[in-house]
């Protein structure tokens, strides 16, 4: 068996320890004589897995008691629709466009009412975070929406926007559990888990209780109402049981690693190794404004598309996989999520140095 260093943006690398545990429990979960995959979602064993996952997440993120944790199928794209369907009262949402995921959320909201762009960084291919200290927030806005960490472009909000009293909704898919976060500053936080938390197929929604409404947009299907998940403990129908089990294992791994403060320290260390190299390199360049750099997704280019392709190909042969940039951006992108070990980044930088010497 040989494991590669996987820099995929998602689905992405998971902690090896977690994969080994899951493998050991595959045929017989804690004496049940079956895999978690084969278990009833109404069984005590699964209820324990679900309860522990929620509690561990609450502990890690210090989620206040007036927030609910919902396990929702359908990944990120379903949340683009669920947010307006559940939060629209005046049918107005204000969006800050910092990349493709924010833009998709904005476009989806337009299906249900008015979506305003109150700030954007599209003028410079989303290579920075706009100043959000005094935005033209609509008086009727039901919420202000951001994508906290921009997976494709590699930027992150270091400061939250001034929403002028409106609830802040944030997509945290690609920075979920990468560092501490003050949940109380948000109305809704949601993340698809396949970037930093677990296997694909699930979004976790952390929502302030008063935003879980009965009077959602007329026609909102039962399975697209936050209330359905809140009332049933995310068990209205069969949830993605195995994915939830894996997420729970990752939460426990993060706890063993020392929690979110320790994750942050480790992630900063990894990102610094890569950014320091990019800043001194004669061949490779980072593509975003330094002040807005993400800890999780690091896009870079050589400036020559053929050389980029050569790099991606040679890196792959050397065991550094999924470094090709997003199809809309080109170049390269290294996603260095929680589960990427420090030596993965160190070895990547050593490989980049070598490539630079040979090609410049």
Site size toward ligand PLP (CB under 6 A) is 12
Q: Does 11 bind ligand PLP (CB under 6 A)?
A: no
Active site residue 195: yes
Residues 274-303: x/- map of binding to ligand PLP (CB under 6 A)? Answer: ------------------------------
Q: Which of 102, 97, 151 is nearest to 129 (CA)?
A: 97
Range in contact with ligand PLP (rule: CB under 6 A) among 13-21, 70-78, 133-141, 258-266: 70-78
- Between 39 and 324, CB nearer to ligand PLP: 324
Closest approach, Cβ 90 to ligand PLP, in A, equals 25
Q: Which of 218, 214, 241, 187 is nearest to 71 (CA)?
A: 241
Active site residue 101: yes
Q: ∠ CA(261), CA(265), CA(269), 5° rounding?
A: 165
Within 162-181, which residues bind ligand PLP (CB under 6 A)?
A: 171, 173-174
Closest approach, Cβ 204 to ligand PLP, in A, equals 12
Closest approach, Cβ 310 to ligand PLP, in A, equals 27
Range in contact with ligand PLP (rule: CB under 6 A) among 13-21, 48-56, 69-77, 324-332: 69-77
**Which one of the listed residues 101, 142, 253, 292 is annotated catalytic?**
101
Please identify which residue in 7, 10, 127, 247 interacts with ligand PLP, judged by CB under 6 A.
10
Distance CA 203, CA 195 (A): 11
Listed in sequence order, the DSSP H helices in 88-146 are: 100-109
Q: Which of 177, 211, 212, 210 is nearest to 192 (CA)?
A: 177
Residues 181-220: x/- map of binding to ligand PLP (CB under 6 A)? Answer: -----------x--x-------------------------
* Contact predicate 196/176, CB 8 Å: yes
> What does residue 231 show for φ and ψ, rounded to 5 degrees?
-70, -30
* Contact predicate 75/203, CB 8 Å: yes
* Contact predicate 75/194, CB 8 Å: yes
Please identify which residue in 151, 228, 241, 335 interacts with ligand PLP, judged by CB under 6 A.
151
Q: Does 146 bind ligand PLP (CB under 6 A)?
A: no
Distance CA 189, CA 208 (A): 9
- Between 15 and 76, CB nearer to ligand PLP: 76
Distance CA 245, CA 18 (A): 11
Tokens describing residue 17 = 């320890």
Distance CA 245, CA 205 (A): 17
Strand partners, 114: 92
CA atoms within 13 A on the CB side of 209: 6
Active site residue 171: yes
Within 71-90, which residues bind ligand PLP (CB under 6 A)?
A: 75-77
The three-state secondary structure class of 190 is strand
Q: Does 341 bind ligand PLP (CB under 6 A)?
A: no
Q: Does 319 bind ligand PLP (CB under 6 A)?
A: no
Closest approach, Cβ 338 to ligand PLP, in A, equals 14
Within 90-109, which residues bind ligand PLP (CB under 6 A)?
A: 101
Distance CA 294, CA 154 (A): 5
- Active-site residues, by number, are 101, 171, 195
Chain residues binding ligand PLP by CB under 6 A are 10, 75-77, 101, 147, 151, 171, 173-174, 192, 195
């Amino acid at each position: 068996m040989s494991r590669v260093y996987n820099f995929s943006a998602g689905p992405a690398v998971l902690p090896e320890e977690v994969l080994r545990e899951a493998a050991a429990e595959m045929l017989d979960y804690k004496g049940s004589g079956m895999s978690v995959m084969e278990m009833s979602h109404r069984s005590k064993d699964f209820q324990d897995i679900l309860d522990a996952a929620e509690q561990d997440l609450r502990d890690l993120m210090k989620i206040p008691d007036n927030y609910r944790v919902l396990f929702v199928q359908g990944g990120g794209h379903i949340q683009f629709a669920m947010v307006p369907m559940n939060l629209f009262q005046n049918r107005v949402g204000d969006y800050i466009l910092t990349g493709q995921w924010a833009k998709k959320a904005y476009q989806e909201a337009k299906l249900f009412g008015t979506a305003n762009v109150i700030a954007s960084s599209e003028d410079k291919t989303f290579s920075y975070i706009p100043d959000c200290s005094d935005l033209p927030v609509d008086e009727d806005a039901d919420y202000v929406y951001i994508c906290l960490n921009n997976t494709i472009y590699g930027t992150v909000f270091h400061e939250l926007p001034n929403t002028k009293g409106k609830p802040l909704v944030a997509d945290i898919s690609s920075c979920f559990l990468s560092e501490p976060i003050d949940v109380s500053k948000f109305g809704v936080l949601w993340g698809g888990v396949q970037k930093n938390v677990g296997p694909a197929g699930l979004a976790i929604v952390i929502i302030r209780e008063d935003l879980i409404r009965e009077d959602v947009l007329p026609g909102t299907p039962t399975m697209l109402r936050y209330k359905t998940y809140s009332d049933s403990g995310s068990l209205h129908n069969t949830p993605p049981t195995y994915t939830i089990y894996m997420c729970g294992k990752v939460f426990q791994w993060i706890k063993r690693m020392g929690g979110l403060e320790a994750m942050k320290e480790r992630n900063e260390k990894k990102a610094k190794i890569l950014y320091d190299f990019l800043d001194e390199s004669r061949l490779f360049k980072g593509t975003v404004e330094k002040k807005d750099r993400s800890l999780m997704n690091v896009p870079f280019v050589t400036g020559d598309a053929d050389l980029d392709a050569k790099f991606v190909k040679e890196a792959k042969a050397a065991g550094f996989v999924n470094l090709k940039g997003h199809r809309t951006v080109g170049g390269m992108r290294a996603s260095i999520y929680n589960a990427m070990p420090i030596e993965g980044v160190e070895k990547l930088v050593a490989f980049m140095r070598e490539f630079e010497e040979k090609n410049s």
